[in-house]
Chain A
Amino acid sequence: MSTILECKSLGKRFGNKPALSDVSLEVARGQIVGLLGPNGSGKSTLIKLANGLLTPSNGKILVGGREPDIETKKIISYLPERTYLNDWMRVHEIIEFFSDFYADFKPEKAYDMLKRLNIDPQDRLRTMSKGTKEKVQLILVMSREADLYLLDEPIGGVDPAARDYILQTILGNYNENGTIIISTHLISDIEKILDYVIFINQGRVILTSSVDDIRDNQGKTVDALFREVFKC
């Protein structure tokens, strides 16, 4: 049971357009994994398949050995690339909502992070800036003790100064036995926290490797390798 996420010739088409083709990979537990690729390469599609928000066209995706269902949803903490919260709710109401539905949600952790970011739990989401909303979502997602965190573009919408804070938040709060998969195209910002990388382009996995292997054996940074592989 050392594999948390497994894809077996996974494919997804939208109409005639393939978004993912024949993806096979395994992600071991207890790592921080970068899912790296240019825009439109299939990163979000893969993450949504793991969450059961999309149904595969071919093949299988398994989380902890199971196809997405109510049991896998209990162990996945997912940060989507969009705002999925009601804008009329207050932050503390959303925290109650998460506590009600997720057994592994730790409200005290969420309130602590809100305090450090100077976000008032009485505020409504409607009154917040886009960046603040993203921070609230990240706080909610990282306040769970999940086995698998799926973070889709967690740093895409915030300024570079806030990125470091967000990375610290991610690193400081995740369940140590858990696995984090971060999708992004901003590699240099997150390179230093990654253990493992998956390069994806046009719906196909083109490289999987440990970061140590890239650094030691190829003598490159992940960023440099990415630029080389995805050269236009």
Chain B
Amino acid sequence: MLGKLLKYEMRATGRTLLPLFLSLLLVAGISRLLFGAGHQKWDVATVISLAVYAVIMAGMFVMTFVVMIQRFYRNLLSDEGYLMFTLPVKPWKHIVSKLLVSMMWIVVSVAVALVSIIIVNYRPGAWTKMITFSGGLGSSAHFLAFIVSALVSLAAGILLIYASIAIGHLVNRHKVLASFAGFIVLNTLTQIVGQVFRSLFHTIQVNSGHFAFAQARSELAIACAIAFMVLLSAAYFAVTNHILAKRLNLE
């Protein structure tokens, strides 16, 4: 059932986002051609195409964000929820399918943005520079840690928004306002817990002789940060799932 939900979720979101991704790459290509055609750097055509490029780039990120919220709110908690919640599917699968597809589109939009930047700015010899630059990022283990922590933070961010919307749903009136209030409360709680977690980590670090080396210390810090984000995600997920499974009240 999760596979089927993912399929329909991708179809429902892809129809909005894919054209945006394609148009960004297209406009990047046009800008590139204008440069290549020997136009002066600030000639009208170039400026217009770069302006359009910038607007589409911004629009792409905004839309990815909007679609993420809209799919959760509209598809599950407004009229379309009548269909989704009468399907013989456990509520957690709805959350997971929407989370995974949102994460995928955010990653794809970042990738599309990077590719479009390369299209616009590519110069002969740029690859070697980029490879040298990325070589400076550190070992592959560090790179992997960076990717994992980026994905886990992304999941935590999305689940925080889902949990806020779900909390807003508990209130009878002013649901949107209540969602914002839910967001502020959850975020503040997270900050407090995070602060406690950090000072705890600091105490352990200071009192332990094993981590004398800066390298090992920073690795431990990253591992703890990832573990903290995983715990946060699990907490937001549990709140959202509890509300959808036990406190559902569709208007």
Contact = CB atoms under 8 A, between A and B. Distances in A.
Interface of A: 14-15, 48, 51-55, 70-71, 73-74, 76, 78, 80, 82-86, 88, 97, 100-102
Name the interface size band of chain B.
20 to 34
Contacts, number: 60
Contact of A53 (B1, B8, B12, B81): B81
Contacts of A100: 4, 8
Given A55-B248, A55-B249, A86 B87 contact: no
B83 A85 contact: yes
Contact of A73 (B4, B88, B173, B249): B88
A48 B82 CA distance: 9
Contact of A101 (B89, B90, B247): B89
Contacts of A70: 88-90
B168 to A, nearest CB: 15
Given A53-B248, A83-B79, A84-B83, A101 B88 contact: yes
Interface in B79-99: 79-83, 85-90
B1 to A, nearest CB: 7
Contact of B86 (A55, A71, A76): A76
A80 B1 CA distance: 23
Given A70-B88, A73-B88, A74-B88, A54 B79 contact: no
Contacts of B12: 86
Interface of B: 1, 4, 8, 12, 15, 79-83, 85-90, 172-173, 246-250
Given A73-B86, A73-B87, A73-B88, A55 B246 contact: yes
B175 to A, nearest CB: 13
Task: Determine chain B's interface SS by DSSP, over half rule.
Answer: loop
B75 to A, nearest CB: 8
B8 A97 contact: yes
Contacts of A51: 85-86
B67 to A, nearest CB: 13
Nearest to A85: B83
Contacts of A97: 8
Contacts of B249: 14, 53-55
A84 B77 CA distance: 11
B86 A82 contact: no
A101 B93 CA distance: 13
B248 A101 contact: no
Nearest to B173: A15
Nearest to A53: B250
Given A52-B248, A73-B87, 12 more contacts: A14-B172, A15-B173, A52-B85, A53-B82, A53-B86, A53-B250, A54-B250, A76-B86, A85-B80, A85-B83, A97-B8, A101-B87
A48 B4 contact: no
A28 B173 CA distance: 37
B15 A88 contact: yes
Closest 10 CB pairs of A and B: A84-B82, A73-B88, A84-B83, A74-B88, A53-B250, A80-B82, A15-B172, A101-B87, A100-B4, A70-B88
